[in-house]
Amino acid sequence: MHKVFIGLGSNLGDKRRNINTALEKLREKGISILKISSIIETEPYGYKEQDKFLNAVCLVETDFSPHQLLKVLLDIEREMGRVRTIKWGPRIIDLDIIFYDDLIIQEENLVIPHPDAHNRIFVMGPLLEIAPDFVHPVLKKTIKEIYIELTKSNI
């Protein structure tokens, strides 16, 4: 079984319900949810002309390979009505693989760890809550260390 951190975000419709629906769909696909962070409200990232987001991170256990899991996440997004139009634009649900065990994958359609997670307070904050001692496999720093650096640079 593999341990994977998945980021969840929504800024359209009933955002909290969207996140809860996505979590339920993960369970329906046979993915065990071990921990879920608090759901936090955050400002949009990248494209600013949109509503605030609700974000969370969950730790799951799965037998799916990284590629299989990515397909499952994209299928859930599609099932929930996600339409990709604007990069970083509004979305009913966003599901991202943040970390998959301690794997490092650099492929055209799959990059793990998530290439920008360490720059995003809306990912690092929830991760800090559920896995402060997890070590980023590329940066070789704990989530707590990354979070402290990130919050210092945003002051």
Does position 45 have pLDDT exceeding 80, yes or no? no
33, 70 Cβ separation under 8 angstroms: no
Q: What residues make up the domain containing 21?
A: 2-114
Query: Does the annotation count 101 as an active-site position?
Result: no
Q: Which of 27, 75, 94, 102 is catalytic?
A: 94
Task: Give a yes or no: residue 154 inside a domain.
Answer: no
- Beta-carbon count within 10 A of 28 CB: 9
Q: Which of 17, 51, 78, 91 is catalytic?
A: 91
Q: Which pTM was predicted? A: 0.91
Residues paired with residue 97 on neighbouring β-strands, in sequence order: 6
Task: Give a yes or no: residue 138 inside a domain.
Answer: no
Per-residue pLDDT reduced to its tens digit, 99-146:
999 999 999 999 999 999 998 889 999 999 999 999 999 999 999 999
First to last CA, the chain: 40
Task: Give a yes or no: residue 152 inside a domain.
Answer: no
Task: Give a yes or no: residue 137 inside a domain.
Answer: no
Query: Does the annotation count 96 as an active-site position?
Result: yes
Spatial distance between the Cα atoms of 39 and 23, rounded to a whole number of angstroms: 12
Of all residues in the chain, the percent with pLDDT exceeding 70 is 92
Query: Does the annotation count 75 as an active-site position?
Result: no
Task: Give a yes or no: residue 68 inside a domain.
Answer: yes
130, 35 Cβ separation under 8 angstroms: yes
Task: Give a yes or no: residue 59 inside a domain.
Answer: yes
Instruction: Output the domain CATH number for residue 31.
Output: 3.30.70.560
Q: Which of 17, 27, 82, 101 is catalytic?
A: 82
Task: Give a yes or no: residue 139 inside a domain.
Answer: no
Q: Which of 96, 101, 102, 133 is catalytic?
A: 96
Specify the number of domains making up the chain: 1
Averaged confidence pLDDT in the chain: 91
Task: Give a yes or no: residue 149 inside a domain.
Answer: no
